[in-house]
A and B are shown apart, each in its own frame.
Chain A
Amino acid sequence: MTDVFNPDVTIDSRGATCPGPMMDLIGKVKTLDPGTVVELQTSERNSTTDVPEWLEKAGHDLLEIEERDGHWNIYLEVN
C-alpha cells in the first residue's frame, strides 16, 4: 500500500518529544504546495486520532494510516 502513495515528503517524528508529531506536521505542511503527499511517522498512538481531526479542520486529505512495528505511518495530501 505504501508504494501506491509514494510520499513526496516524509516527516520522521518517531520518538519526538517536544513539541511532538502534530506540531512537526503542522509546521511542515504550512511550507508545502497543494498536491504534496506527506508521510508522517509517529510512535504516538494519539496521532492516529489527533492527526485526522486536524486534517479535517485544516482541509487536507487523509489517505491512509498504517500500523507498523512500534509506530504508525500516516499518509495525507496537502490541499
Chain B
Amino acid sequence: MHRIAIVGGGTGGTVLANRLANELKTEIEAGEVEVRLITADPEHVYKPTFLYVPFGKKTVDDASRPIEELVDRRVTLEIGEVTGVDTDRKQLSFPDGSTLEYDQFVLATGANLEPEVIPGLAEGGHHFYGPDGAERLRDELAEFTEGHIVLSVIGVPHMCPAAPVEFTLMVDDWLRERGRREDVDVTYTYPINRAHGLESIAEWATALFEERDVTLETFFNVDEIDPDAGIVETVEGIELEYDLLVAIPPHRGSDLVTDAGLGEDGWVDVDRHTLEATVAEDVYAIGDVADVPTSKAGSVAHYEAGVVADRIASRARGQTPTATYDGKTVCFLEAGMDEATFIEFEYGEEPYVREPSKPLHWAKLGYNESYWLTARGLL
C-alpha cells in the first residue's frame, strides 16, 4: 500500500489531505493508498480570526473547529505528536517509540511564536497572534483611555506580513469610533527603511499613517523591552516609551525539521515551485514551515496544498508530476473597521493596492465565514 503521511493539521495539511482524498478516492477505497493526517491539536484553527478579537468583533471560539468535522472520511486522521523523521529510512517516530513508514511525506507543521527570545517581551508586550494573546489584548484595549500604543514588528519572518498594518489602521479607526483617539498616540515600527517589505504596501500604508496621525518609525530593530519602565530598546540605540505594546513576536519553525536535517533554522528548504525538500526524496513542505520567497500566509498554504496534492497523486499513480506553484498569494487587508483592500501576486510581481472599500471589507468577512469550505477542500 502506498502511504502518504502529512504532519500538521492547519490550513495546508487539512486542505492537502482533503484534496488527496478526492483525487485518490478510488485507490483509497481499494486499499491501495492511504492518506494519513497526523496532528497534535484536535482543533483546526483559522488564525485570521484573531485580528478581530482585540476589537471585540470575534471571540477565540470563532477561530477553531474540531478537525474531525473538516476532514474527508477517506483520510486516516490521527491526533498525536510526531517526535522524529528519518528521511533515509522513510520513517516517522512517535512518543511511545513506535514508528510508521511512509512512501511520501509532507511537513505542514506551521510557525510557532517565541516571544521569550526578546528579553522583557513576554512580560511587557501583547500580541494578537494566538488565542490567549488576543484575549488579553482585548481586555487591555477595552480599558485603554489615553497614552501611547506602539505596534512593533519584531519577528522576522512572521505570519501574515499584512496583519501589523491592518491592526494599526483598525485600532486607529476603532478608537475614533469610541471617541478615544484624540487622547491616544499610535506608533507603528518596522525593521527596515520603510513601512513594509513590499514597496507598494509600504507606500500605501505610509500615506494612510500620515493621514491618520500614526507615527512611523523605520529601521527599528527591537533588542529588548523594559516592562517596568515601559520602554522598547532597539539595536540602533533608540528608546521608545509605550503604555501599550502590541508586538509581532519572533517566530520559529519546527525542531522536527532541524533534527531531520531538512533545514537549519526550523524552516524546510524546498524547491519554490515543486515544494519538494532539497535534501531528501519524497518529502514536501507546505504552509508556514516551508521556506519559500513569499509570505507566510494562509492563501499560500492553500495554493501550495493544491499543487502538492496533484504532484503526490501523480507519483502515487506512477506518473510524472507536472503541477507547479508559481508563488500565488492573495491577501485581504483591513484598512479600518469597515473598509478593506485586496492584493494578489506571484513570484516576481509587485502587487497593486486597490482603493479600500466597504465591499472588499465585506468580502473579507464573507471569506472568513466560508474559510471552513476551503479547509474541507471544497473552495
Contacts and interface: CB of A to CB of B under 8 A. Distances in A.
Contact of B348 (A17, A27, A46, A59): A17
B294 A17 contact: yes
A46 B199 contact: yes
A61 interface: no
B378 interface: no
Contact of B295 (A19, A50, A53): A19
B154 to A, nearest CB: 10
Given A26-B156, A27-B157, A30-B156, A12 B192 contact: no
Interface residues of B, number: 30
Interface in B290-306: 293-295, 297
Interface string A5-33: 00000001111111110111011101100
A17 B346 contact: yes
Contact of B191 (A15, A16, A18, A26): A26
Given A17-B329, A17-B349, A58-B235, A23 B199 contact: no
Main secondary structure of the interface of B (DSSP, over half): loop
B348 A57 contact: no
A69 B296 CA distance: 28
Contacts of B294: 16-18
- Between B293, B294, B295, the greatest number of chain A beta carbons within 10 A of the residue's beta carbon is seen for B293
Contacts of A18: 161, 197-198, 201, 294-295, 297, 329, 345, 351
B126 interface: no
A14 B346 CA distance: 12
B327 A26 contact: no
A13 B291 CA distance: 11
A15 B221 contact: no
B115 to A, nearest CB: 15
Given A26-B191, A27-B156, A58-B221, A19 B235 contact: no
Contact of A22 (B192, B201, B345): B192
Nearest to A53: B193
Given A15-B293, A26-B191, 17 more contacts: A12-B293, A13-B293, A15-B348, A16-B293, A17-B198, A17-B345, A17-B348, A17-B349, A17-B351, A18-B161, A18-B351, A19-B197, A22-B193, A22-B197, A23-B192, A46-B199, A53-B193
9 contacts: A12-B293, A16-B294, A17-B198, A17-B294, A18-B297, A22-B192, A23-B191, A24-B293, A57-B236
Interface of B: 156-157, 161, 191-193, 196-199, 201, 219, 221, 235-236, 265, 272, 293-295, 297, 327, 329, 345-351
Interface of A: 12-20, 22-24, 26-28, 30-31, 43, 46, 50, 53-54, 57-59
